[in-house]
Structure 1
Amino acid sequence: QLGVFRSRALSTERRLPIRLDRLSMNPAVAFLFGFTFSFAWTPCVGPALGSVLIMATSAGSSAQGFLLIGVYTLGFVLPFLAVGLFTGSLLDFFKKHQKAVRYTVKAGGVLMILMGVMMLTGWMNGFTSYLSGLGGAGTSASSAAPSSSVPSDSAAGQGGGASSGPDNASASSGSAASSEQPEIPAPDFTLTDQFGKTHTLSDYQGQVVFLNFWATWCGPCQREMPDIQAMYEDLGLNEEDVVVLAVANPKSDQYPYNQDVSEDEVKRFLEENGYTYPVAMDTTGEVFAAYGVRAFPTTFMIDREGNVFGYVESTLTRDIMDSIVQQTLDGRRAG
């Protein structure tokens, strides 16, 4: 699209031997033309659509994902509708402004390269979390939706991480605030994991809980899961000071709008990938709602007294995991 690499084979146009002047237009013919057109444009549309789908799968909810896809669809369809309704005027416009159209194509190429760099470097996770934060900034936080933030590496390097007070419901990792924070009890729950074992959060008082909310379709979640498994093994398989616990939100006939695939499919995903740390099944979505989860992955740190120490809406590296676990063990919030 930038014109840097040129290939006659890739630039060659192929046309179907159809005489449009001999066909009478009807819905069936229109459908056939539409299908052929969309199929032929797959190489052109594919990269942009793929980028949109990646952003949609990282959205805070299915509604936000559908909104992103809907906006993309409008941006793709509206120009063609305009061409269909105002063919003569628009063709004259395009002829007069061919250079502008050429630069539009190049701008699309630059945008795709930028998104590729963001994906490779992990910036896309922060960007989607930022968009999720904008979507939830206008809502008020309930007492069950804690609003503290666990520090990231970058924040720790600037004099320590931050945790925000209850008046700032949209706080994210690395935002500055006072270290004097009121204690926020973590919403209690009782759920069953993939092995049939029951987990009640209040039973883990006296231990620090690493509580991770995730989904099987979430790419950022998948990238941090090997580190969570390794941490689970290194810290004593939940038999010592730290409990590693994840929560999934599988669909069911009764709850078809939950965030993930069916419970059996979640269990199969865990088994196929060798993840043995406990994943509790929130089949009703009540625990996700109680914690105000709006992006994947989201990780909460629960201290020994059962209070929320902080949370992060982003992919965590092993170094960051170790850092926030140690800070919670020490009861140390950096101001």
Structure 2
Amino acid sequence: MSGPDVATNTRPGRNDPCWCGSGQKYKKCHLDADSRGALQASPVRASRRPLAPGIVSPRRGVPPSVPRPDYAGNGRPRGQGQDVKTPEQLERLRRACRAAARVLRVSGEAVRPGITTDALDEIAHAETIRLGGYPSPLNYRGFPKSICTSVNEVICHGIPDSRPLEGGDIVNLDITVFLDGMHGDCSATFLVGEVDPAGRKLVQVARECLEKGISAVKPGRPISDIGRVIEAHASRSGYGVVRSYCGHGIGETFHTQLQIPHHYDPSMKRVMEPGLTFTIEPMITEGTWEDLLWDDGWTAVTADGKRSAQFEHTIVVKADGAEVLTVE
């Protein structure tokens, strides 16, 4: 059920069921809070609507001249790829990662109240094609769009659709580009208009969690070190860390078997070594770390409906730590 937008005064009647789904009448539930927000005339919304799926447009086309990953036609990826890269493979991966970083910047600059997530998908798709790349999410295991757009309580894998972004939203844009036979993967969470202080803090801590995870990358240390420092920082700040989704090995295949948990998992004993490439992409939540899946089979949301934020880079392990690849 949709909630009221204070800016447009589209509220239920006093005796109607409250928009929040509590089962109470609006006057006994959110009327007072919504009214206070309207009187303050704040650009920050007094209440946040639970997200609902919009209309998904047809899949966008890719010119025949653009090289494609193995799953582009049938949706089924083949092979696992190697996690430790040769110098030649690393150079190709750097090019794919630079392209992904550019697409993320260009699409992120378009984030504003009123734009639909489908329009952001169109911008990212066009920029990917312009750079000679293929948008990696497109038809990966059947995913229908070229990027993932995860708004508010969506943890990851949100499908771009007809819903316009609203002032006070936060939205993660997850971009992966297939170029020169390699996948480069990155994401960032953007503020839409004026966001409340709690939302801004969540986004800031999510960014810090990524930085902490990258700082833990050192050859000779176990993969579990990454999740250890991320979870510690999130917990100190009062946030949860999603466990159902993790970082992953990447290169000539979109996802290798290598997994990078963002919470402390002592069973992750693989030792990091120079040339190892993977993503770090912690998903940080205001409330529970548990998740639910929408009927579309892709959209993962927080079980309690509270917000989630995420940042991501593709990195390579070097002799002295991590090199971030997804930069322009």
TM-score normalised by L of structure 2:
0.24
Q: Larger C-alpha radius of gyration, 1 or 2?
A: 1
Which protein has the bigger strand share?
2
